[in-house]
Structure 1
């Protein structure tokens, strides 16, 4: 019997690449997103390889998430892997210049959405037991702050600590939990952050050979395919071009 992966934010970037990777191995897929037309196109693309169920879903809507999970039909009801991928970054300004509504949207999605979907699927994952996995898409931003990261960094720090807390609580259930923290990555995610500024997007990645969505998908699939007795708690992934710089020092004139 094929295993089932539940992937949030599956309409672009990491989520779409992961859907394609799992489909290539014949997994059943439950794919969520807010863009119905994109979900329909993805279902058309992947349905020749596996069984696909798409859900037009806002992960911040707790009632809708619970209803969708409770109504999962066979063969999608037994979820083996939850990939909490839905998330966003908005704005690159210093905190004092930020739009509060953008901060709240990041908190609602990156924190609220992640915990809402996780809470809804925990009973199913625990029932599946040994070998089931929760893979949370964190970021190196959760560990290494940078100017303009403010609330985004905070939300990804939450993802890391939430993942560790889940590991403690799920001890003995067989459910694995991983915080996957990519570094500089090229995807539509950055266009959203810059408000569609293509020049800013191009300049960020120029000459850097950044992580690609397919790199993340291969890593996620590897995590999900490890022997059931192994858990990767935290996996930080950077392109070779990315490293740390000296601390910033402000000097008085």
Structure 2
């Protein structure tokens, strides 16, 4: 069997771009996400373009039982995962702490932190048994600095940064590599989700400069994964040329 990559949040954006890139490199894929129809469409498109096997598992990473059941019910051959890309994550709302929405907070914490943990616990044990593996955790520039009204989202991505370091320490003796990729401004569905479907507001986030696209991050992930086995890239912070910090972006208004 070919090498296997398991990608969470594969229905759009960075996850989808990773699916195509790893298929191009000959990996069989386990694609997960909440939207089954999108997973099926993506699997069909990859199957028609690349000679790889694709398995799909539709669940919400916030649901621990769904994560454990869906992953453990995969055939044994599919549990020989070489690469886990913890991509599922989101931001909701952009309010000062005193005006924050409880539901938004819980969604971000449950997805960005707990969901990552649920998936990682299952798959890391497979990797330990297989004596090989590579975990990629998708963080954010928000995990490196805090910006106005970013409070809880920034806190969740700081947690991802800490968990990435903790995984690296705990899994060191098992030879499992662990890397965090922290993107800056990437034009995906991210802002549309943050603003709850307000496409006009989301579009304005990227006005006046050229943001990263999902393919940029997928290629960065592949660079890390494709290093020799004795090389571990602990973390990478990747931003558009026009961006210096989370809030310092040069916009051409001409």
Q: Which runs of 4+ in 1 moved over 4 A?
A: none
Name the counterpart of 2:37. 37
Could you tell which deviates more after superposition, 54-63 or 110-119? 54-63
Deviations 1:138-191 (A, max 9, x none): 001011111111100000000000110111111121101111100011001110
RMSD, aligned CA: 1.6
For 1:244 and 1:231, how far apart are their aligned partners in 2?
A: 25
1:246 deviates by: 9.6
Name the counterpart of 2:92. 90
For 1:221 and 1:176, how far apart are their aligned partners in 2?
A: 13
Q: Secondary structure at the match of 2:104?
A: helix
For 1:186 and 1:164, how far apart are their aligned partners in 2?
A: 27
Q: 1:245 to 1:2 in 2, by over 3 A?
A: closer
Q: Secondary structure at the match of 2:173?
A: coil
Q: Secondary structure at the match of 1:83?
A: strand
Alignment of 1:127-142 (within 5 A): 127-130=129-132, 132-142=133-143
Q: Secondary structure at the match of 1:30?
A: strand
Deviations 1:50-108 (A, max 9, x none): 10001011112222212222222254220000100001100011111111111011000
1:202 deviates by: 2.0
Unaligned runs of 5+ in 2: 249-254
Name the counterpart of 1:81. 83
Name the counterpart of 2:65. 63
Unaligned runs of 5+ in 1: 248-253
For 2:155 and 2:239, how far apart are their aligned partners in 1?
A: 19
Name the counterpart of 2:25. 25
For 1:129 and 1:64, how far apart are their aligned partners in 2?
A: 26
For 1:67 and 1:35, how far apart are their aligned partners in 2?
A: 17
Q: Aligned pairs, how many? A: 246
For 2:172 and 2:199, how far apart are their aligned partners in 1?
A: 45
Does structure 2 retain, via aligned residues, the 8 Å contact 1:28–1:76? Answer: no
For 1:67 and 1:244, how far apart are their aligned partners in 2?
A: 40
